[in-house]
Every structure is written in structure tokens, then in C-alpha cells.
Amino acid sequence: MRGIFVDKKRILIIVTGRGIGGDAGTALNVYNAIPAEILDKAEIFVGLDKFRSIRGEITAKNLYHYTADVAEKNTIILPGTDTKLRGVAGLTGKG
């Protein structure tokens, strides 16, 4: 399942499903598919399982140029972007 939901301040992009891998390349593919006119408000949500995998890959590849100072738990700024990648328990194991 993929969905785009809009609240008053953000555009939430929910990513689940078998075709969604838990790697940074897949997360960047989702980012690249976001239309430019909504990019400044977009946030990408994945399950905690995929989030941990993506964060682990970034760390293992020594990609320490990602923003690590986000004060929110299970949230990083996707490397090379200004877009938040969030891991949420409700999506864990959904693909």
C-alpha cells in the first residue's frame, strides 16, 4: 500500500508493501517520485523494521553526512535531501 495524506502542515507519504525494500536506495526512489510542488512539506513514513534497516545501511556505508540531530525518535533526514524519513510501529511488518 502506498498513500499520500495531507494534514494542515505536512504531506505524509506512507510506504508499505512487498515491492518496498528496506534500503536507502528505495527510500531515495520514493523521495524522487515526490512532485516538486509538495516536496517542502513531504515526510516519508515506513515501518520500524524498514526504518532500522535503512538507518543501519546508511551507518554501515559510513554515510555520516546525513543529519543526525533530529530530536524526534525514529526520524532521520534522508541523506542528500531535506525530507524526513520516519519509522512508525503501525507500519511494521506490512510488507
pLDDT digits 0-9 by tens, 2-58: 555 566 566 666 666 555 566 777 788 888 888 888 888 888 888 888 888 888 887
User: CB neighbours of 53 closer than 8 A, spacing ≥ 6?
Assistant: 22, 23
Distance CA 11, CA 24 (A): 20
Q: Where does the pLDDT of residue 89 fall: very low under 50, low under 70, confident under 90, or very high at 90 and above?
A: confident
2-6, strands of its sheet edge to edge: 2-6, 11-15, 42-47, 84-88, 75-77
- The DSSP letter of residue 78 is P
- What are the domain boundaries of the chain? 2-91
Specify the pairing of strand 11-15 against strand 75-77: unpaired
